[in-house]
Amino acid sequence: MTSVPGANDDSAPLYSLEKATEVVLGVGCVERLKAGETLTFQVFPDGLDQHTLDLLEAELWMYIHHSPVALAPGNVVPNMVHSVLQKVTQQSLSVWVVSALLYGIHQVVAILSPGQIGEKRQNDWHIDVPNLFEATVSLAAGISHPWTRVRLEPVWYPDGDQSTFATVRVGSAKQWVGLHAIQQANSYLYAVQRGDEGFVLTAFADHLAMSATLNFPISRAML
| Rounded mean pLDDT, 85-95 | 89
Q: Is 207 helix (H, G, I), strand (E, B) or coil?
A: coil
- The pLDDT score that the predictor gives to residue 59 is 93
Which tops the pLDDT comparison, 16 or 15? 16
Alpha-carbon distance 208 to 98, whole Å?
A: 30
Of the candidates 81, 86, 35, 77, the residue with the CA atom closest to the CA atom of residue 56: 86
pLDDT at 74 over 70: yes
Q: Tens digits of per-residue pLDDT, 40-67?
A: 999 998 888 999 999 999 999 999 999 9
Q: Tens digits of per-residue pLDDT, 97-152?
A: 999 888 888 888 888 889 888 888 877 888 888 888 999 999 988 898 888 988 88
Percent above pLDDT 70 for the chain: 86
Mean predicted lDDT score pLDDT of the chain: 83
Q: What are the φ and ψ backbone dihedral angles of 43, each rounded to 5 degrees?
A: -60, -40
Q: Is 160 helix (H, G, I), strand (E, B) or coil?
A: coil
- The pLDDT score that the predictor gives to residue 3 is 31
Q: Tens digits of per-residue pLDDT, 25-35?
A: 999 999 999 99
CB environment 183-195: b (16+ within 10 A), e (fewer): ebbbeebbbbeee
Is residue 109 within 8 A of residue 101, CB to CB? The reply is: no
- The pLDDT score that the predictor gives to residue 165 is 64
CB environment 69-88: b (16+ within 10 A), e (fewer): eeeeeeebbbbbbbbebbbb
| Paired strand residues for 115 | 77
Please give the single-letter amino acid code of residue 124: D
pLDDT confidence bin for 2, thresholds 50/70/90: very low
pTM, full prediction:
0.81
Domain residue extents for the chain: 17-222
Q: Tens digits of per-residue pLDDT, 94-110?
A: 999 999 888 888 888 88
pLDDT at 221 over 70: no
